[in-house]
A and B are shown apart, each in its own frame.
Chain A
Amino acid sequence: AQSVTQLDSQVPVFEEAPVELRCNYSSSVSVYLFWYVQYPNQGLQLLLKYLSGSTLVKGINGFEAEFNKSQTSFHLRKPSVHISDTAEYFCALRTGNQFYFGTGTSLTVIP
């Protein structure tokens, strides 16, 4: 069975500090991994994706994520956060044609 676990439901961080949002997955088959961001009252927007190749993936808004197959993780990082990064972040995996989402991490950037 496939599953995605986001280890932190809420992450507060001061503006201009670095942040890491953690994501672990479980799957018996090859997966593709994604991070999405959701701003209030909006749908989800793709931040970045890992399909194959380099394990370090760069996305929009200065975010990056590293795929670690041995640890089955796909943590999201940003070296310096802005107020505008305050949002809900979702990790997802795709196997075949079905997506599985984590329960989300609420990132709050404190001025």
Chain B
Amino acid sequence: KAGVTQTPRYLIKTRGQQVTLSCSPISGHRSVSWYQQTPGQGLQFLFEYFSETQRNKGNFPGRFSGRQFSNSRSEMNVSTLELGDSALYLCASSLRTSGLAGEQYFGPGTRLTVT
């Protein structure tokens, strides 16, 4: 079974630009979560999508948004990029069924550098 895939793997953007990151979950997984990982803050939860609906949201400004498509693929968008947005963005998928404390399966991440 293929794992979680994220594209692109590396990205360099300039302050003020916007960026879109993509995540394809494991086949059959309907939940996709996004995390920002930085050396200072560690892993911080951005949001979770399930069945095309945002179910949970972390404490990030509105510049960070996402969506999920009917095939469970998800995109994350960051507008008006700031230097502090430089980070590894991780996507994780899970089954998210009521009978399972489903663990999350992580993709390799997208390394975003803002200059």
Contact = CB atoms under 8 A, between A and B. Distances in A.
7 contacts: A36-B106, A41-B108, A42-B109, A43-B108, A44-B104, A101-B42, A102-B42
Interface in A49-92: 49, 51, 90
A94 B101 contact: yes
Interface of A: 32, 34, 36, 41-46, 49, 51, 90, 94, 97-104
Contact of A97 (B56, B90, B103): B56
Nearest to A46: B103
B75 interface: no
Interface residues of B, number: 23
A98 B4 CA distance: 19
B45 A100 contact: yes
Contacts of B4: 43
B31 interface: yes
Given A43-B106, A94-B101, A102-B42, 15 more contacts: A32-B101, A34-B103, A42-B109, A43-B90, A43-B108, A45-B106, A46-B103, A90-B42, A97-B48, A97-B55, A97-B56, A98-B45, A98-B48, A98-B56, A101-B35
A99 B58 CA distance: 10
A102 to B, nearest CB: 7
Which of B50, B55, B90, B101 is the most central at the interface, judged by chain A CB atoms within 10 Å of its CB? B101
6 closest A-B pairs by beta carbon, nearest first, are: A43-B106, A32-B101, A103-B42, A101-B43, A44-B106, A43-B108
A49 B42 contact: no
A11 to B, nearest CB: 16
A97 B31 contact: yes
Nearest to B35: A101
A92 to B, nearest CB: 8
A49 to B, nearest CB: 6
A65 to B, nearest CB: 14
Nearest to A102: B42
A97 B96 contact: yes
B100 to A, nearest CB: 8
